[in-house]
Amino acid sequence: MAGFRMRAAGFVLLLAHLSIVYSVMLRPRAVPWVPAANLRPLETIRAALALGPWEAVHQLGGAVLLMAPLGVLLPLAGGRLTASALGSFTRTVFTGAMIAFAVAVLQSTVPGRVPDVDVVLLNTLGVALAHLVIVPVVRARLRRREYAGAVPTPTIPRVGLAPQADALSGSRT
């Protein structure tokens, strides 16, 4: 029952986050001019870094933080406590990258918005970092809490070994 509640909460929070992303990234903008789409990887990142560290953090940090909650919400919606760390990370980052890519493709149809491949890369980086920082710690705590109340496996008292001659002779004495 707790697993179902965890998955349901994760799914509801995931939908809420995606609706926020939709409203932020896919709302039309009324601007006098629109820059060209950036399809060259790392071009926007290099340009932001050339402006200085604080301006780069300001410009690039939003893209990293926008999709970062997916790094936690996707595994939460999956609800697996015993998932492989590498498998969970791979699934989460791939799904986050595909969502970021879908948003970038949809942006090309919205007036005043242009797709940028660097935003997809930064969104994916945010998903990966959030997953690496939060999910293993939370899963470990939840596993400890779940298994703390479990009944330990019964053990059989150790039986001594029979003398070697009796064990190999095959005779009954």
* Range among 5-14, 81-90, 92-101, 156-165 with highest mean pLDDT value: 92-101
Instruction: Give CA separation, 58 vs 13, 38, 47, in Å.
Output: 26, 19, 13
Q: Is the pLDDT of residue 167 over 60?
A: no
Report the share of the chain in percent with pLDDT over 70.
84
Residue 72: CB partners within 8 Å, gap ≥ 6?
130, 131, 134, 135, 138
Of residues 61 and 31, more confidently modeled:
61
| Residue 94 φ then ψ, to 5° | -65, -45
What pLDDT is stored for residue 164 in this prediction?
A: 60
What pLDDT is stored for residue 77 in this prediction?
A: 93
Helices (H) and strands (E) in the chain, counts: 7, 0
Q: Terminal CA-to-CA distance of the chain, rounded, Å?
A: 56
Q: What is the pLDDT of residues 91-142, one digit of tens each?
A: 999 999 999 999 999 998 998 888 999 999 999 999 999 999 999 999 888 8
Domain residue spans in the chain? 2-28+38-146
**Whole-model pTM over 0.85:** no
DSSP H helices, 26-84, are 43-50, 53-67, 70-78
Q: Of the candidates 53, 29, 39, 20, which has an alpha carbon nearest to the alpha carbon of residue 120?
A: 39
